[in-house]
Amino acid sequence: MSRAMFLRIFIGLFGIVFIVLTFWLSAHFHLNASTKLVIILAFALATFFAEVIIAIDNLEKRLKNAFPSLELSLKDQIAVNETIKLYNKLKRSHTGISTRIALADFEKIHHVLCQAEKGGDFVFHDIYSASMILLAALEPGQSFKVVSNLTKRFYWKSGRDMTEHAKLNYKQAKRGVHIERIFILNTKDELSEIKEILAEQEENNIDVSYAFRGDLDKMLPYASFAISVEQTTGIISHREDSLGKVTITSNNEIITDLATKFDDIKRQSIKLGSEIHQANT
C-alpha cells in the first residue's frame, strides 16, 4: 500500500469518527448549528490541505519518474542535460565516422550501468581513472594490491592523469592505506628505467617490488591487475599493449583468486636493492 493511499484511508476513517463525535458533542453540549458548521468546515479545510499535500507529493514522484535527473544535484543536472543536448545534436547531424563511433560508445553506457547495478563485469576505457576511483575510496588499514605493467617512467611522470595518479598513491599510503605494487618487467633494461620510480614509491611508504615476466611461468593470468579485497573490486588489464581498456569486476571469486595469484607472484618478486645482496651472498 502506498503512503498516499494510507493517508487517504486514515483521513477517511478519522473524518467519519470526527463527524460522529461532532454530532454527539453538539447534542451533549447543545451546540448551535453555526458552531457545528464551523467545526465541520474546519475539518473539511484540513482534509482539503491534506489532499493538496498528497497531490503535490504524487506530482513530485511522477516528475522524478519522468525526469530522473531531477534527483541529482544542480551541477549534475546541468552536466546530464548538456550531454543529452549534445547527443541529440550529433545524432541529427551525422557529420562523420568519428561522430558515429563516439555515439556508439556513448550508447554503451546504459549496458555498463546495468552491469554495475547487478554486480556484473564491464569494460572501462581509462585505467588511470578506474585505479584512482578505487584507490580514493580506500580507508586507512585497507589494502590496494597491484600487479603493474606501467613500467616506463612516463607512465608516472608525464601528463596530468599520470602525475595525479602518483600523487594519490602517495597521499593514500601516508593516510595508512596499505599499497603493494609489483612491477612486471620484460627485460633488465626496463629495470634500469623504472628504478627511479621504484625508489620514489618505496620512499612514500608503498611496498614495491618487481618480477620478470619470463620467470613467472603461468602465474600471471593477465597483463596487469589491481584489487581491493575490502571493497570487493578488481581492475583487470587483459593486454600488455592496451592500457586504455580494462575490465571492472566485483565478482568475489575472481577477486579472491587474484589475491591468491598476487601472493604467489610476490613470493617470486624482488625488492629494490636485494639483487645486490643476493649477488654478494
Model confidence pLDDT, tens digit, residues 98-136: 677 677 777 777 777 788 778 888 878 788 888 999 999
Question: What's the grid cell of residue 151?
Answer: 613500467
Rounded to whole angstroms, how far apart are CA atoms 54 and 191?
69
**Beta bridge partner(s), residue 224:** 237
Q: How far is CA 37 from the centre of its chain?
A: 59
Quote the pLDDT of residue 279.
38
SS (H, E, C) the chain: CCHHHHHHHHHHHHHHHHHHHHHHHHHHHCCCHHHHHHHHHHHHHHHHHHHHHHHHHHHHHHHHHHCHHHHCCHHHHHHHHHHHHHHHHHHHHCCCHHHHHHHHHHCCHHHHHHHHHCCCCEEECCHHHHHHHHHHHCCCCCEEEEEECCCCCHHHHCCHHHHHHHHHHHHHHHHCCEEEEEEEECCHHHHHHHHHHHHHHHHCCCEEEEEEHHHCCCCCCCCEEEEECCCCEEEEECCCCCCCCEEEECCHHHHHHHHHHHHHHHHHCECCCHHHHHHHC
Rounded to whole angstroms, how far apart are CA atoms 129 and 29?
76
Quote the pLDDT of residue 276.
41
pLDDT in tens, 22-62: 666 666 666 666 766 666 676 666 676 667 776 766 666 66
Are the C-beta atoms of 146 and 224 separated by less than 8 Å? yes
Quote the pLDDT of residue 158.
82
Quote the pLDDT of residue 254.
93
pLDDT-flagged residues of the chain (< 70): 1-33, 35-40, 42-46, 48-50, 54, 56-70, 72, 94-98, 101, 241-244, 274-281
Quote the pLDDT of residue 4.
57
**For the whole model, what pTM was predicted?**
0.66
Are the C-beta atoms of 190 and 210 separated by less than 8 Å? no
